[in-house]
A and B are shown apart, each in its own frame.
Chain A
């Protein structure tokens, strides 16, 4: 028996979410009284792999193949499921990011394993195996029993603290042995943003809504995000109007994020917007309307004009960062 965690890499490097995943897997393994195996696919060097050991991975399996250069959901799932069988894994954990969401349901069918998606805490109990997961777009949380022998979980990003431990890991290389001959996904074009902090990776997010009044008014908001080392986001009307790019839309139908700090500027706080940001650790609201529902979701609020408030905040942040 073991807990298998799939740790995605980005050009050979791991991110904070990789370590969150391994920390979480260690917690689950402790409950089950078993060990954690981390699986890495593609080219990652030993020193990078060893970092997973700092969060509790006992065995780190590396598999590489040219066929892994494209994310083909079918092929990736077959590889991960194959290793899960071989290692006798009873719980398989992946991130609830784009890749994890693409792979987890396929693993579920391949392994006939119940899927607990977007879990944000350790299982409530292991017998019956009960997970705590987001439902109704964050308006409720469910206790969900997974009754199959094997379980697949996707972990909500930024929902679990990193837990460091003494490295006690060993790296094992393995060959890929699957019954799928061809990778069917062909990449025609890649468009990458470079040098920009990704919204999903950001600990601090400054977000603007229709209350910003016009796209020309974004300068102080961007300045505040830059000064804080954060990323910028926006509400749906703003991206629909084309004031900001669609990638920035946070909310039920846009990105769902959980930064440590979310600053909502000129956002009224409709249910659909809150669905995308309610897992943030701290929410700050800046709005001219004191009755705006965003203040009910926020721990800190300023009732005032963003154009007057933002420059003061930028100055204060620069002062403490000096």
Chain B
């Protein structure tokens, strides 16, 4: 079985977002770029499966759509343990474009399980995984918090309103994963970092595609009014404010 993990390159989640002049893009000065947190968990789970010989997972590949400047993030994924990587050499104007590029790669390389994070922490689109599955006409399972392989069959746990469902789908399929898929992201060890330097990264040029959306402006969330402090000795006053001023209880 071959697993593909799609990774996105995002600003570190503690970044204070600043905009460029014109407010249509972010100022990337000083930003630390990382693997999207959900993709990092996806990769961790894929590697855990590969570590278990009973799962039958032979290889874990990562794929990314981005310019050469995103190489460090790809190398990091290799250092964590991915066997090889594919970089589609293009800026990513929108999810539709990214998904069409990744679908094209998947078609050529015959992956069995494609794992995508539920969203990227930058555009919060929750889009690419589901779009890939539709481009390829294969099943997708979303909100996946558990993935194992039982006698060659993938068994997935997905979150539903107020509970969980355990489901199976035939390969190939796309798993769109969220919290719970792996406990902690795997961290690259020194040996992994050394090895990552020599692991293959295949760079391919994008296939013709289009984009359907584009961001024309960004704005900060409206600031909240300043905090009104209540004396802890007189804490019950809060309840009266919530009832009479905020009117939420």
Binding site for A on B (CB under 8 A): 11, 13-14, 16-17, 19, 26, 37-38, 41, 94-96, 99, 118, 121-131, 133-135, 137-143, 145, 155, 158-170, 173, 176, 178-180, 212-221, 224-225, 227-232, 235-236, 238-243, 246, 248-249
Contact = CB atoms under 8 A, between A and B. Distances in A.
For the complex of A and B, the 3 pairs showing the least CB-CB separation, nearest first, are: A304-B232, A105-B130, A114-B212
Contact of B17 (A106, A116, A140, A283): A140
B161 A10 contact: yes
B142 A136 contact: no
A74 B139 contact: yes
Contacts, number: 280
Nearest to B126: A101
A5 to B, nearest CB: 18
B37 A313 contact: no
Contact of A145 (B142, B173, B214, B241): B214
A68 interface: no
Interface size class of A (residues with CB under 8 A): 35 or more
A73 B142 contact: yes
B60 to A, nearest CB: 21
B14 A204 contact: no
Given A96-B126, A105-B130, A278-B221, A113 B238 contact: no
Interface in A190-243: 190-194, 196, 198, 200-201, 203-204, 228
Instruction: Please report whether the interface of chain B is mostly helix, strand, loop or mixed according to DSSP.
Output: mixed
Interface in A129-145: 130, 133-145
Contacts of B163: 190-193
B246 A261 contact: yes
A288 to B, nearest CB: 9
Given A73-B133, A184-B139, A315-B236, A139 B221 contact: yes
Contacts of A140: 17, 19, 26, 218-221
Given A110-B134, A117-B126, 13 more contacts: A74-B134, A97-B161, A102-B176, A103-B130, A108-B130, A116-B213, A117-B124, A137-B122, A185-B167, A187-B165, A308-B235, A315-B236, A317-B249
5 contacts: A108-B127, A108-B134, A118-B124, A198-B161, A300-B227
